[in-house]
Amino acid sequence: MFLPKYPENPTPPPAHTHAPTDPAPVPVRRSLPSVSIDQKTVAAVLVGGVVLTALLAAVAVTAISVAVAAVVLRSLLRDHHRR
């Protein structure tokens, strides 16, 4: 009674295979300018990275030290006001 009625699928048209008559042209590869990287350049980049990392670590340690000092001073001042 409540069975769906599906439409009949028409048969698909036959597939045509198109074979290219001429081969595709080979793309021309452009030559990129050569960049010479010597040992001095690598050493300079590594030293720069180490220096920047050390500076970042110094800033982080300083920030933590300032935060700890602020907490200690706050607790000392709070105890001083209670007396």
Chain segment 36-62, per-residue pLDDT in tens: 788 999 999 999 999 999 999 999 999
CB atoms within 10 A of CB 72: 10
In the predicted model, is pLDDT for residue 69 greater than 80?
Answer: yes
How far are the Cα atoms of 10, 17, 19 from residue 14, in angstroms, in the given order? 12, 10, 16
In the predicted model, is pLDDT for residue 82 greater than 70?
Answer: no
Copy the structure tokens of residue 70: 């602020």
